[in-house]
Structure 1
């Protein structure tokens, strides 16, 4: 069989070699050139019909692989222009976050989005970005710390009744921070999440179970914290009377377990879309009707439950040490994806550093180690996909904070506000963050503030540059 005849069929180099091998076999069987060309055209038109076996099976497999690449390329093409999206607090948001959001709004699976006033540059989707997709989940649209979340416990103790030295001792004894840290085995607590059968459903979950069980009830590094402070409730709410209460506020996530899940499935998503534009590489998605998408969803939701379990145990330890039962508790995740109806569509809403704020839904928006946080109730704004900010948001990156902030100024800021800090690095200094009051003011149509929380004794991981 002359190679020119195969080129005319439109076959590529590797397919031509396989076609020639098959043609030689058919020639030996006594078929004419025209008959063989007719058979090759049939294989081109329906390669799946020939892939199961026979002389044309290798060619059919190659043609199917080529088609898969073409389909992936076609399905991964970005829109020429981003879909429009609303922004809250645009004057507080750096241009880099807008550029990242613009790329996200060009994804072919995207249907809607919004940018919160605490937004700043992240990996893939900006921190503070909200993205609604159809039948697709984006691992980096959720983030590396899957299920990162907040929890507040209001205690039946007057704020002044717990002295600073006692609060410091409690936090040092009953909390742990940093990469790879855990309680001693004899001090480790159990939780229902560790007994879910879900851990046995996937190899990666089975592999990570021991890590998760070892680190249960602890917190990571960076901006994670546990702190005692004063909750001020101006009006009766949360089942409580007006007044001031001692409270515990924590910010924690899914530890090394969630980070490894994120890395594993991000790699799978990138392989699903090998031709995705470089600027959108970290926004590669997994179809929810594919086994990889279903596996990620299962692992993601488990990581979300595991993160909240860490809060449960942190708060239970401190309440038990104080011999009290919390009067009220509020919690929410802010790095997760949810199935949500948007208009008349069932979509997947990713909140990467954004607080769920459906009508009447309680949430927590912290400030910094020295600035107030807020208990809020959502207003269900449809344009924001029923979301709000998840904090103040960075105005200085970690390296910039370390390079520009003065330790004496940070210490003076803490002293002026009566805050005692255990651990913490200058990269987490209050001056590295936007002013929380400005962020809250930019979203008064997204949430109602019902209480404020002023930190008093704060524990964090030791930073690379201590304060």
Structure 2
């Protein structure tokens, strides 16, 4: 198999390998990648996915391996954010001609948005059982004992809720017109609090460190292995990743329950795919133990299933990893932005948004302009750029999209 990557930066000790042929790569993102690669504990190289774009500290759409150190801002504040999808026995002709009722039902079943309106005031026993089985509340209590600013009050209220921004719930049809449920969300308010808190602690630690190298960006502040805060962060980020996965499982259950009330009887054809794309974990590559941070990237080991969504009006993909060692067995997490949210709101018109999403039952108002398809890279070009990282198993087109 030929490699699609090119060296974006080969100077110094840490090269940057990028799968970016045929897709735009902003100069600011390239500069940010060079900053990351300049750190002495990053390597043996940095892998860049075709959906790459500027982030805070680290670029979104990058895979950053580290030795003996961890960078909280590289993981970010939406810890454990990722995708889940499951195929049903329903077919396109089982869906009603008017899909507005289905969208409204899903929105009633799964609170969306941020703030109090995106929370449950009480949750069903099944959700409480799920939380208890994962021991998430007990684990968070241990973290809070050491770090009292990490509050537990949103854990129950936000389990099984969507959030806002680019998070979504969709009903999709595959190439054989089979109905899929797909969704995108993370660890909600508690994960955000954990990320924000430890990024701040890393910056404070930076003020006390005597560095033997230049740190080009304070958002690249780090913890060193062996330090108490390193272990505390690893524990907390692991909790947030597990909570995010549980959150997606709970939302899937809620959406499927809603469909069971309104559509013909159906079953699930396959076990759900559930994958993170904002996370860190210890992995072995080429015989070396590394801490691998995927900020907007998905694990794509040989045979491993993953999900690469497009935007509100474009295709999404269920993929199977090819186990490419050059990418640290990774692929993109989506299409990747070409416009900031502010730029999208100032550039894309409501008419353009409505035309781009005419085939989808979704919000057509100004509140989602920053998520309109034109704000993202062409998903077909992104998929072509990573043909040596994944193979397409299913191509999905959405017919219902719920946004926070």
TM-score range, shorter-chain basis?
A: 0.7 to 0.9
3-state DSSP of counterpart to 2:104: helix
Is residue 107 from structure 1 mapped to residue 39 from structure 2 by the alignment?
Answer: yes
Is residue 290 from structure 1 mapped to residue 221 from structure 2 by the alignment?
Answer: no
Q: What's 1:438 paired with?
A: 381
1: CA distance, partners of 2:170 / 2:57 = 31
Report the alpha carbon displacement of residue 192 of structure 1 after superposing the two structures with TM: 3.0
2: CA distance, partners of 1:160 / 1:82 = 57
Report the alpha carbon displacement of residue 124 of structure 1 after superposing the two structures with TM: 0.5
After superposition, residues 338-377 of structure 1 pair within 5 angstroms as: 338-377=281-320
Report the alpha carbon displacement of residue 321 of structure 1 after superposing the two structures with TM: 2.5
3-state DSSP of counterpart to 1:140: helix
2: CA distance, partners of 1:438 / 1:445 = 13
Contact 1:159–1:229 (CA<8 Å) still a contact in 2? no
3-state DSSP of counterpart to 1:131: strand
Contact 2:320–2:392 (CA<8 Å) still a contact in 1? yes
Q: What's 2:30 paired with?
A: 98
Report the alpha carbon displacement of residue 223 of structure 1 after superposing the two structures with TM: 0.3
Contact 1:167–1:228 (CA<8 Å) still a contact in 2? no
Q: What's 2:250 paired with?
A: 313
User: How has the CA–CA distance of structure 1 residues 365 and 199 changed in structure 2, closer, same or farther, with 3 Å as cutoff?
Assistant: same
Q: Return the match for 1:413 from 356, 370, 374.
A: 356
3-state DSSP of counterpart to 2:323: coil
Contact 1:319–1:326 (CA<8 Å) still a contact in 2? no
Is residue 192 from structure 1 mapped to residue 125 from structure 2 by the alignment?
Answer: no
Runs of 4+ displaced beyond 4 Å = 275-278
Q: What's 1:70 paired with?
A: none
1: CA distance, partners of 2:348 / 2:139 = 45
Q: Return the match for 2:157 from 214, 221, 230.
A: 214
1: CA distance, partners of 2:181 / 2:148 = 31
After superposition, residues 29-40 of structure 1 pair within 5 angstroms as: none
3-state DSSP of counterpart to 1:338: strand
2: CA distance, partners of 1:307 / 1:441 = 29
1: CA distance, partners of 2:14 / 2:247 = 38
Is residue 427 from structure 1 mapped to residue 370 from structure 2 by the alignment?
Answer: yes
After superposition, residues 15-30 of structure 1 pair within 5 angstroms as: none
Q: What's 2:206 paired with?
A: 273
Is residue 400 from structure 1 mapped to residue 337 from structure 2 by the alignment?
Answer: no
C-alpha deviations, 1:240-270, integer Å up to 9, x for none? xxx3311111000111111110111112212
1: CA distance, partners of 2:310 / 2:129 = 29
Q: How many residues are aligned here? A: 370
Q: Return the match for 1:169 from 86, 89, 104.
A: 104
After superposition, residues 111-122 of structure 1 pair within 5 angstroms as: 111=43, 112-122=45-55
Q: Look at both structures and tell me which one has the larger radius of gyration over its CA atoms.
A: 1
Q: Greater helix percent: which structure?
A: 1
Is residue 123 from structure 1 mapped to residue 56 from structure 2 by the alignment?
Answer: yes
C-alpha deviations, 1:108-155, integer Å up to 9, x for none? 111121110000000011000111001211111111100001000111
2: CA distance, partners of 1:439 / 1:229 = 20
User: How has the CA–CA distance of structure 1 residues 108 and 217 changed in structure 2, closer, same or farther, with 3 Å as cutoff?
Assistant: same
1: CA distance, partners of 2:130 / 2:177 = 33
Q: TM-score, normalised by structure 2?
A: 0.87
3-state DSSP of counterpart to 1:107: coil
Is residue 157 from structure 1 mapped to residue 94 from structure 2 by the alignment?
Answer: no
Report the alpha carbon displacement of residue 156 of structure 1 after superposing the two structures with TM: 1.5
Q: What's 1:140 paired with?
A: 73
User: How has the CA–CA distance of structure 1 residues 177 and 273 changed in structure 2, closer, same or farther, with 3 Å as cutoff?
Assistant: same
Structure 2 portions without partners, runs of 5+ = 1-10, 261-265
User: How has the CA–CA distance of structure 1 residues 159 and 205 changed in structure 2, closer, same or farther, with 3 Å as cutoff?
Assistant: farther
Report the alpha carbon displacement of residue 319 of structure 1 after superposing the two structures with TM: 1.5
Contact 1:179–1:221 (CA<8 Å) still a contact in 2? yes
Q: What's 1:263 paired with?
A: 196
Report the alpha carbon displacement of residue 186 of structure 1 after superposing the two structures with TM: 5.5
3-state DSSP of counterpart to 2:153: helix
Contact 1:100–1:124 (CA<8 Å) still a contact in 2? yes
Report the alpha carbon displacement of residue 169 of structure 1 after superposing the two structures with TM: 2.8
User: How has the CA–CA distance of structure 1 residues 230 and 191 changed in structure 2, closer, same or farther, with 3 Å as cutoff?
Assistant: farther
3-state DSSP of counterpart to 1:380: coil
Higher deviation after alignment, 134-143 or 273-282: 273-282
Contact 2:70–2:223 (CA<8 Å) still a contact in 1? yes
Contact 2:51–2:335 (CA<8 Å) still a contact in 1? yes
